[in-house]
Amino acid sequence: MSTYDVIIIGAGPGGYVCAIRCAQLGLKTAVVEGRDTLGGTCLNVGCIPSKALLHASHSLHEAQHNFPKMGLKGKSPSVDWKQMLAYKDEVVEGNTKGIEFLFKKNKVDWLKGWGSIPAAGQVKVGDEVHEAKNIIIATGSEPSDLPGVEVDEKVVVTSTGALELGKVPRKMVVIGAGVIGLELGSVYARLGAEVTVVEFLDAITPGMDAEVQKTLQRILKKQGLNFVMGAAVQGTQATKTKAKVTYKLRKDDSEHVLDTDVVLLATGRKPFTDGLGLQALGVDMAPRGQVKVGRDWQTNVKGLYAIGDAIDGPMLAHKAEDEGMAVAEQVAGKHGHVNYGIIPGVIYTTPEVASVGETEQTLKDTGRDYKVGKFNFMGNARAKANFAGEGFVKILADKNTDRILGAHIIGPSAGELIHEICVAMEFGASAEDLALTCHAHPTYSEAVREAALACGDGPIHM
């Protein structure tokens, strides 16, 4: 039996970041991971492989559509799907091996296998029981299921199967117009599949700024994605190579069937805590399966903490990472903190979408007086030059104090631009503070400054 200051169960972005920070803070640390590789959902079957395929398919789109406009002539590239998957796998391997290196560098032990918690202060891996002063649950999440939809990961797939299809399908039906469905739907649409997204609600990407939702849907439609909105999927019927998706339109209860080669079930994810033994330990759980924690991420069992997708909040890698660092500080006797009001959310479609803080809807709901500063990328020289003039930056600021309350960007590099606003918000900046900051020309960032100017006396280039 070995004894640790901290044992973390799960080596996703929550768990591995937590482990590295614990080790940096001088704690004897181990991580239990059942997968063959480190990095969790994010590095193995989530953020990283999906972004590799988005990058590859976006490059194809650029070559097909924008190269000729810039005088770059020649045959546009064709798709070697096997090679594209090999590229994606190489990216994944490089990243997961990187975490192994960081564990060695920081002297974090990897206890290989699936862990459980037989008693407070103990973690069992295989036949071995290890003792730990602190145990951190970072076991992440798994795809949600939908009644009537049986996943075989070949014809009816979750995001995991969608990252390694045998070939690019001719037709794909995506159930759910959330981030994962739209990103992977975009990949296959760019590669030539006829993609239809079936969504229960009347708007895509629930919870996002309504203007962004509409703009993104319009742009994706232009890129060839079909949308069936307000549709409740009743079920799927699959053979070895084809499937039928039956749905009912909520407005009139009429039933419809879509024939397809592949169905991607992308209706969200649920916390994964199977096999840990939490019920026997008496750990409080939320009705939707999350581990309940207090402000210090501690459960109702002393010394047992939980972070990341396994607890409440947005299921995002960087939220898990922040919690990982904060809980490490906490168990080391410091004061870990996560500002849940400033966690950006990004959709890596083209154009990208990024948002942080309040939406107009949440401000209306709380009756807060606010003003809107908006700037279209069509007024941004760099964006126009790069065929990226679609979209806008929208900053929401308090009407009286000018303090920035939120921002919503759809446009080029939105996922990078949003951080300027996150930093500004962390420092309690006003829109004027951003507007008075010199921004290099020509950059996409100038559009952020112009939106900030639009909160005051007005933008220059619009």
Ligand X SMILES: Cc1cc2nc3c(=O)[nH]c(=O)nc-3n(C[C@H](O)[C@H](O)[C@H](O)COP(=O)(O)OP(=O)(O)OC[C@H]3O[C@@H](n4cnc5c(N)ncnc54)[C@H](O)[C@@H]3O)c2cc1C
- Which residues bind to ligand X, rule: CB under 6 A? 9-15, 32-35, 40-42, 46-47, 50, 114-115, 138-141, 159, 180, 272, 275-276, 308-310, 315-318, 320, 348
In the residue annotation, 441 being an active-site residue is answered as yes
3-state secondary structure at position 377: helix
Q: Contact 197/221 with Cβ under 8 angstroms?
A: no
Nearest to 289, CA basis, from 259, 258, 263, 268: 268
Neighbours of 287 (CB within 10 A): 5
Give, in order, the Cα–Cα distances in Å from 312 to each of 201, 340, 357, 455. Answer: 22, 11, 17, 34
Nearer to ligand X, 15 or 391 (CB): 15
Please identify which residue in the block is written with the tokens 């009743």: 234
Catalytic residue among 337, 419, 441, 461: 441
Q: Contact 400/370 with Cβ under 8 angstroms?
A: no
- C-alpha 361/C-alpha 373 separation (Å) is 16
Nearer to ligand X, 345 or 373 (CB): 345
User: Nearest approach, Cβ of 272 to ligand X (angstroms)?
Assistant: 6
DSSP letter for 68, please.
G
- C-alpha 204/C-alpha 254 separation (Å) is 21
Nearer to ligand X, 225 or 320 (CB): 320
- C-alpha 40/C-alpha 405 separation (Å) is 33
- C-alpha 292/C-alpha 312 separation (Å) is 8
Q: Contact 21/27 with Cβ under 8 angstroms?
A: no
Q: Contact 15/31 with Cβ under 8 angstroms?
A: yes
What is the phi-psi region of residue 4: left when phi exceeds 0, alpha when psi lies from -120 to 50, beta otherwise? beta
Nearer to ligand X, 17 or 225 (CB): 17
Neighbours of 151 (CB within 10 A): 19
H or E element that contains 281: helix 278-281
Nearest residue (beta carbon) to ligand X: 140
Nearer to ligand X, 317 or 407 (CB): 317
Which amino acid is located at 182 in the chain? L
List CB contacts of 461: < 8 A, sequence separation 6 or more: 375, 379, 380, 381, 450
User: Nearest approach, Cβ of 93 to ligand X (angstroms)?
Assistant: 15
DSSP 305-323: EE-GGGSSS---HHHHHHH
Nearer to ligand X, 37 or 226 (CB): 37
User: Nearest approach, Cβ of 296 to ligand X (angstroms)?
Assistant: 17
Nearer to ligand X, 16 or 375 (CB): 16
DSSP letter for 309, please.
G
Catalytic residue IDs: 441
